Structure 1
């Protein structure tokens, strides 16, 4: 499984680094996983939204080469939880005064949405998101009718775009797997290791990182609960 983790200006470093570390460790343990940091623009230093921390994208996002594409959220000021996608869209370079909705909305002015649509249209590619990464897909019109989750403060925006918001730590909607708040990137990547490579590898990495996964992975399977 080859994974590409997407960086964009203002990304949340933990959203990207946590899955990278887990998937890289899974690859070291199994020989079955490779992972790289990418951007829509190609190799470049990408400045995150946390204190100007930058990571290096070593390649361009290319869904034709990926089995898994991971989209992080953004890091910045919280902003107005009721802010709509249209209000969130902005222009210019990230700065300390940018809100998270503005940083997420700004991705719509780049080549990222078209590349993510290509990935979403390919049944052989799984697209995964951490925190506000699902809002990037939602604002690009790619989550209509899909089950997904984001940070609890963004669930209203997720609903407003036509997605079917589910309050869970990780939501598995087949070739779309989304995770909630920032630290859920660890749980997301461990679940993907379990699903795609096997539980022994996932358990070994979980033990290595001294992290116990939280929550139940939600899937559209089994009987529908009554009275909830």
Structure 2
């Protein structure tokens, strides 16, 4: 299994590093059954985060034909404009729609065998591109109204599993997302081994689109 974590200008570093480290450790514990790399729609390049001056290097081109899992992070920055011309998270996310990223994600979302996962505002990138209307998803609590406005079925949970779409809430939920993907795809023993290694206990609720529906 091969995972790619998408980088775009203005990404949130923790949205990327948390799932990267978890998935990388899971691959090591699983004898190489999972590999992970940083990728951008434009190919290998230095990608500036929204937390200046930190940047990360994409070593590959984001490719729906190559990846089995694509993880989309959110953006880092101010939520609201404080001064004229301030770069805000909504503006950063909107700019991703003018890049090649939505085209790659459109291919990914059309492939039921490929898992598209998001951290924080990553689900808003998909929603703003019109790719997850009618699907169950979550984002950072400050973006839930916007997610709802795009036609997404918003679920207030730490991780939301809607089959080939798996989304996670606020910034640190990237750890929980990574561990959940390990458990789902490689088994609970691999996930537990990585939890132990990282001295981290998963928190919050994982919502799945299966089982009985509540009647109340």
Q: Which TM-score bucket, shorter chain as reference?
A: over 0.9
Tell me, what secondary structure is at the counterpart of 1:109? coil
Residue 103, structure 1, aligned to residue 104, structure 2: no
The one of 171, 184, 187 equivalent to 2:176 is 187
Cα displacement (A) at 1:78: 1.2
> Which residue does the alignment assign to 1:19?
19
Residue 134, structure 1, aligned to residue 123, structure 2: yes
Unmatched tracts of structure 1, length 5 or more:
81-95
Aligned length: 212
Q: Does the Cα contact within 8 Å between 2:47 and 2:57 map onto a contact in 1?
A: yes
Residue 173, structure 1, aligned to residue 174, structure 2: no
Tell me, what secondary structure is at the counterpart of 2:71? strand
Cα displacement (A) at 1:216: 1.9
TM-score normalized by the length of structure 2: 0.96
Residue 66, structure 1, aligned to residue 67, structure 2: yes
Tell me, what secondary structure is at the counterpart of 2:97? helix
Tell me, what secondary structure is at the counterpart of 2:56? strand
Q: Does the Cα contact within 8 Å between 1:173 and 1:219 map onto a contact in 2?
A: yes
RMSD: 1.1
Please list the CA deviations of residues 193-225 of structure 1 after superposition, one character each: whole Å capped at 9, or x if unmatched: 000001100000011001000112101222222
Residue 164, structure 1, aligned to residue 165, structure 2: no
Map 1:29-108 → 2, pairs under 5 A: 29-30=29-30, 31-79=32-80, 97-108=86-97
**Aligned equivalents of 2:179 and 2:149: distance in 1?**
29
Cα displacement (A) at 1:226: 3.2
Please list the CA deviations of residues 142-199 of structure 1 after superposition, one character each: whole Å capped at 9, or x if unmatched: 0110000000000000011111010000000000000000000000000000000011
**Structure 1 stretches of at least 4 aligned residues deviating more than 3 Å after TM superposition:** none
Q: Does the Cα contact within 8 Å between 1:168 and 1:217 map onto a contact in 2?
A: yes
> Which residue does the alignment assign to 1:219?
208
Unmatched tracts of structure 2, length 5 or more:
none
Tell me, what secondary structure is at the counterpart of 1:226? coil
Cα displacement (A) at 1:37: 0.1
Cα displacement (A) at 1:51: 2.2
Residue 202, structure 1, aligned to residue 212, structure 2: no
**Aligned equivalents of 1:166 and 1:110: distance in 2?**
28
Q: Does the Cα contact within 8 Å between 1:76 and 1:97 map onto a contact in 2?
A: no
Tell me, what secondary structure is at the counterpart of 1:70? strand
Q: Does the Cα contact within 8 Å between 2:163 and 2:209 map onto a contact in 1?
A: no
